[in-house]
Copies of this chain bind each other. A is one copy, B any other.
Amino acid sequence: MEYSIGEFSKLTGLGIHTLRYYEQEGLIAPERNSGNRRCYSDKDLTWIAFIKRLKDTGMPIKEIKHYAELRAAGDPTLSDRMEMLVQHRQALNEQIARLQEHKIKLDEKIEFYRNEIERTKNNVSS
């Protein structure tokens, strides 16, 4: 299947402007039809899904662009790309660990508030 930018925007949840911006930044390179309109494919769909994953895990656009360039260069860059992903996984693991630490502290803080609120209630009624 092929999609116009409007259809593709709905499928991906990314705005039309954002899709053009991503193209300009070298993240994606859709085909063009006779009238110079963008023609997104199902491959583009899975590729955008992966881009979103990289973005959501904190990879900057510049780095995704680099990955996209390697990808466009085909098989000879397979191990470079894997290397990038292994590095990124490392960062992701650290990020998750940090957030879990923060979660514990936040739970403690909430527990502290619960006690404080109980305490102030008692003060009011005494």
A residues apposed to B, CB below 8 Å: 50, 53, 56-57, 75, 78-79, 81-82, 85-86, 88-89, 92-93, 95-96, 98-100, 102-103, 105-107, 109-110, 113-114, 116-117, 120
Chain B residues near A93: list those with CB within 8 A.
103
Compute how far the CA of A121 lies from the CA of B60 in the bound complex, rounded to whole angstroms.
Answer: 31
Residue of B nearest to A52 (CB): B102
Given contacts A75-B120, A113-B81, A120-B75, contact A57 B96 (CB under 8 A): no
Is B82 a contact partner of A113 (Cβ separation < 8 A)?
yes
- One complex includes copies of this chain to the number of 2
The DSSP consensus for interface residues of chain A is helix
CB of A79 within 8 A of CB of B110, answer no
Contacts of A79 in B (CB 8 A): 113, 117
Closest beta carbon of chain B to A7's beta carbon, Å: 25
Residue pair A110, B85 in contact (C-beta under 8 Å): yes
- The interface residues of chain B lying within 8 Å CB-to-CB of A78 are 113, 116-117, 120
Complex CA–CA separation, A107 to B104 (angstroms): 26
